Structures are given as structure tokens and as C-alpha cells.
């Protein structure tokens, strides 16, 4: 899964236009970033990257890029 694909899928999860997001976007600035989005993001990563990420990443992550980085680490 490319970085661009990740961003597009993540935008779907939080109900935003992909063009409005980048990897530096602060998660807390997203209105749709809530407990339901945690589940949606978990599913999106599991489906597309084949890994069930630990929920702790949602506590530690500050930006969208942090989530992708954590997912890439989990893949290794």
C-alpha cells in the first residue's frame, strides 16, 4: 500500500477530502477522529497492510504520518 493510498483510505475513514489531509495533519484537529474512527482505521490497515495494529498507536500518534509509521513497523 503506497503512502498516497493510505492517505486516501484514511480520509474515507474520518470523512474528509484526501486533498485536505497530509501526513503532518494533527489527528486532534480532525472532527471525525474518535473511537469509531479508531476501529475504522484498524480495519483499513488490517485489510490493506495485513496487520492488526495495537490500539496503543492511537494513543501515541499525533499526526496521520505517525499512524502510517506505526503500521509499517507492525508489518516488519
Is 39 a binding residue for another protein by CB under 8 A? The answer is yes
Is 27 a binding residue for another protein by CB under 8 A? The answer is no
Part of the chain binding another protein (CB under 8 A), chosen from 8-16, 17-25, 37-45, 60-68: 37-45
Residues ≥6 apart with Cβ < 8 Å to 26: 62, 63
Is 50 a binding residue for another protein by CB under 8 A? The answer is no
How far apart CA 75 and CA 20 sit, in angstroms, is: 27
Is 1 a binding residue for another protein by CB under 8 A? The answer is no
* End-to-end C-alpha distance for the chain, whole angstroms: 14
Amino acid at each position: 500500500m503506497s503512502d498516497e493510498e493510505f492517505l486516501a483510505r484514511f480520509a474515507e475513514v474520518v470523512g474528509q477530502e484526501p486533498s485536505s489531509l497530509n501526513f503532518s495533519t494533527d489527528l486532534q484537529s480532525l472532527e471525525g477522529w474518535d473511537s469509531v474512527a479508531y476501529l475504522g482505521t484498524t480495519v483499513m490497515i488490517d485489510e490493506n497492510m495485513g496487520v492488526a495494529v495495537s490500539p496503543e498507536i492511537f494513543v501515541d500518534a499525533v499526526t496521520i504520518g505517525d499512524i502510517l509509521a506505526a503500521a509499517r513497523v507492525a508489518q516488519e
